[in-house]
Amino acid sequence: MHGKVAIHGHGIAAYCCARLLSQDGFEVACLGTPKSAGPTLLINQSTQALLNDVFGAEQNLFSDLPVIHKRIVLWGNETEPKILPHFGVVVNETALLERLRPSYTSFSEQADWFVHSTLNAAAGTEQHFGTRTANAAPVQLKTADNDACWVESLESGWLFLLPNGAHEGSLLAVGGPVRALLDESRLVAQQIEDVGGPETEFTAHPRILDPLCGPGWLACGSGAMSFDPICGEGSGNAVREAILASAVIRLPGDGLGHYTSRLLAGFLRHLEICTHFYVSARRSDWWDSEIAALERGIEWTRHRLSSLPQSNYRLVDFSLVPC
Amino acid sequence: MRRTGRIRVATIDSGVNPSHPHVAPIAGGVRITANAVDDYYTDFLGHGTAVAGAIREKAPSVDIYAVKVFDRALATTGTILLRALDWCLDSGMDFVNLSLGTLNSSYLQAFQERILRARELHCTIVAAYEIDGQPALPGCIAGVIGVVLADKCPRDRYMRHRKKGRIVYSASGYPRDIPGVPPEYNLQGISFAVANVTGFLAAEAASPCTGK
């Protein structure tokens, strides 16, 4: 045995860490209670490939799930929707986690490492870059044709409609309540027969823990940061963080600097891409204030990155190796 | 390097003519030789410019970077190719378009290391899957978007299918039309199938809720 790792949380990042560390001989315990309900996720191709790699899946973990083949997008000043190919699968988060849940051990002794994959306020201070929230609601769709998802920017927010069954879907409204934003919609509203309830509200602006790690502990997944859903990158980023966290724990040397700089670089790229999408959709004060917060985030993250020394490691496969 | 939120696409080729109307504007570029890295990325062959033009046609709003490894002929060394890939990874590219490849299997491990690093950095490498029917490096390695030629595929789409147990992509081998020049007289082939796929994928990544 290499040591003991206590992982706080039961999300994608937690289970990826548990998988990678336990197969390398660590004793791993996932602490806390699994969530009983989760959102509907669209898992893109690169995240599917990463999860299949991490879980050594001989058969594709996702082959039996419904596939989204196109994205229909009406964004910014476009007058007609764009139809783009897509190869994502639709899965409820809870059902996905059932597939990934590790058969881990538990232990009562002190752990050598702690991985916080849920927010641990004692570990650091959260930086928030924006105020927007998202409201998710189940919806009834007008048609049973369910291989397309829909994205639309509005005067005071944006909508994302993801079918998850015949005549059924999940609607995400960022910037306001579902019905209020649907009133502004020209594209998504046309696909919806009825809105169910209740709405679930959650944070949709980027946030990050500062610091991201310290001696004997690492923040990972939603314990480290959360992304704006506009990028469709939250799950993939959680897997990447878990791969890196596991590599740092396995490393005989000190990989905390590399961990911080890679996570900050990923967060910076997310902020840049978000800003690009938000600027291209800017139509009201709502967009302007969120763009200003994103720009503040870019400055903050660049400043943090500039104070870090150059990393002496590179991630090769699942391990950190000296440059 | 100027940082924007636009998707960044590097094309490893013969450079780019930065003022060509099918390509401009170019976000930046570099020339990689056996001994040096400099910013003389002007294209003397036309191949890299046509490749960049194919990407620009599909993805009008991305940042294109020219990485010049071919000078007076469409040939370079494996070592220079690896250094070009390293430059792309160090420079935060989202996509790398590699129209050509090598059949020399001695480079397998070196390419694999770059591909695994690309996974960490969330960079997608698009490359020719085969040369003359033989699997080519790095396009045939898992983790790379390997592309084959499909001349019957219309120019406005790409296809995905299984080949030897893995998914490969295919697209038309014709770049964008040049007014007055019949398509069959224009440059064509696997290079442009690769560029067309890169352009489609970059355009997808440049739109919301994609998760590139």
Q: What is the mean pLDDT of chain A?
A: 92
Please indicate, yes or no, if residue B211 is contained in any of the structural domains.
no
Give domain status of residue B210, yes or no.
no
Angstroms from B74 CA to nearest CA on chain A = 30
Q: Could you give the residue range(s) of every CATH 3.30.9 domain in chain A? A: 66-93+133-204
- Taken as a whole, chain A contains a residue count of 323
Environment class of residue B1 by beta-carbon count within 10 Å: exposed (0-12), middle (13-18) or buried (19+)? exposed
Distance CA A162, CA A42 (A): 8
B210 to chain A, minimum CA–CA distance in Å?
5
Cβ distance of B117 and A82 shorter than 8 Å: no
Under a CB-based contact definition with an 8 Å cutoff, are residues B84 and B67 in contact?
yes
Residues above pLDDT 90, as percent of chain A = 77
Report the chain A residue with the minimal C-alpha distance to residue B210. Answer: A232
Q: Which residues have CB under 8 Å from A67's CB, separation 6+?
A: A87, A88, A89, A90, A147
Q: What is the mean pLDDT of residues A292-308?
A: 97
The pLDDT value given to residue A314: 86
Tens-digit pLDDT profile for residues A80-105: 999 998 889 999 999 999 999 987 66
A297 to chain B, closest Cα gap in Å: 13
Report which of A44, A52, A41 is spatially closest to residue A11, judged by C-alpha positions. A41
Q: Could you tell me the pLDDT band of residue B184, with boundaries at 50, 70 and 90?
A: low
Q: Which two tokens stand for residue B46?
A: 């036309």
**Contact criterion met (CB below 8 Å) for A117 and A9:** yes
What DSSP assignment string belongs to A272-286?
A: HHHHHHHHHH--SHH
Parts of chain A belonging to CATH 3.50.50.60:
4-34+101-131+207-322
- Of chain A, the percentage scoring pLDDT greater than 70 comes to 98
* CATH number of the domain enclosing B65: 3.40.50.200
Is there a contact between A95 and A13 (Cβ–Cβ < 8 Å)?
Answer: no
| Neighbouring-strand partners of residue A213 | A218
Cα A169 to the center of its chain, rounded Å: 20
Per residue in A154-207, pLDDT (tens digit) is: 999 999 999 998 899 999 999 999 999 999 999 999 999 999 978 999 999 999
How many structural domains is chain B composed of? Answer: 1
Q: What is the dihedral of CA A265, A268, A269, A273, to 10 degrees?
A: 180
Question: What is the separation of C-alpha B184 from the centre of its chain, rounded to a whole number of angstroms?
Answer: 22
Size of interface A-B (CB pairs under 8 A): 88
Q: Average pLDDT for residues B140-150, to the nearest whole number?
A: 93
Residues in B closer than 8 angstroms to A266, CB to CB, are 122
Relative to beta strand B28-32, strand B37-38 is antiparallel
Q: What percent of chain B has pLDDT over 70?
A: 92
Q: Which of B116, B200, B208 sits opposite A73 (nearest CB)?
A: B208
The answer to whether residue B1 is domain-embedded is no
Q: Is residue B62 part of a domain?
A: yes
Q: Which token pair is A166?
A: 């015949």
CATH code for the domain defined by A66-93+133-204: 3.30.9
Beta carbons of A295 and A275 less than 8 angstroms apart: yes
Checking if the pLDDT of B178 tops 70, the result is no
In a domain, B200, yes or no: yes
Residue B2 included in any domain = no
Mean pLDDT for the stretch of residues B126-147:
93
What pLDDT score was predicted for residue A34?
87
pLDDT for position A76: 93
pLDDT of residue B92: 93
Task: State the residue range of the domain holding B52.
Answer: 8-205
Tell me the chain B residues in contact with residue A85 when contact means C-beta distances shorter than 8 Å.
Answer: 157-158, 200, 204
CATH class name, domain A4-34+101-131+207-322: alpha beta
**Residue B185 in this model has a pLDDT that exceeds 60:** no
